[in-house]
Homo-oligomer: A and B are copies of this chain.
């Protein structure tokens, strides 16, 4: 299966993965949320090769997650900023950070603290239900086909 074949799958995860399912892309996005915007800064922080960085930034722009904006003329210089579509990835990154903090942290504890400015506390992200507001765990969720489903999206046992 090719990269671009993934984006034509019915599944939302497959389509999302076709955009961000790459280790460098995820690390680039992490830095974007830390307000990194410039090619050289990404390169220094990530240790990624310039070739691949250019490629990933191009793909992220093409998919509408980042926007390339000129921040000076003469000489022309560009920076990369999260679009609204890119900002919507915040929950994905926050969930990833939290999982890493829980299961992969070193003995010194978490490397970064997140403060919720509305309540002024350091917090952990909690996945809540949009309907009742309670926290959701894997066992509380049942899946079923939606309007955009194709016949093979769920395994046989679940498609009833």
Contacts and interface: CB of A to CB of B under 8 A. Distances in A.
Interface of A: 1, 3, 6-7, 10-19, 21-23, 26-27, 30-31, 33-36, 41, 45-48, 64, 82, 85, 87-119, 121-138, 140-150, 152-155, 157-158
By CB atoms of chain B within 10 A, which of A21, A30, A104, A114 has the most? Answer: A104
A122 B157 CA distance: 20
A96 B95 CA distance: 10
A11 B97 CA distance: 8
15 contacts: A13-B100, A21-B23, A88-B102, A91-B99, A91-B127, A94-B95, A105-B148, A109-B146, A114-B142, A116-B131, A118-B132, A125-B127, A125-B130, A126-B128, A126-B130
Number of copies: 2
Contact of A92 (B10, B95, B115, B134): B95
B148 A109 contact: yes
B125 A126 contact: no
B112 A153 contact: yes
A127 B45 contact: no
Contacts of A31: 155
A154 to B, nearest CB: 6
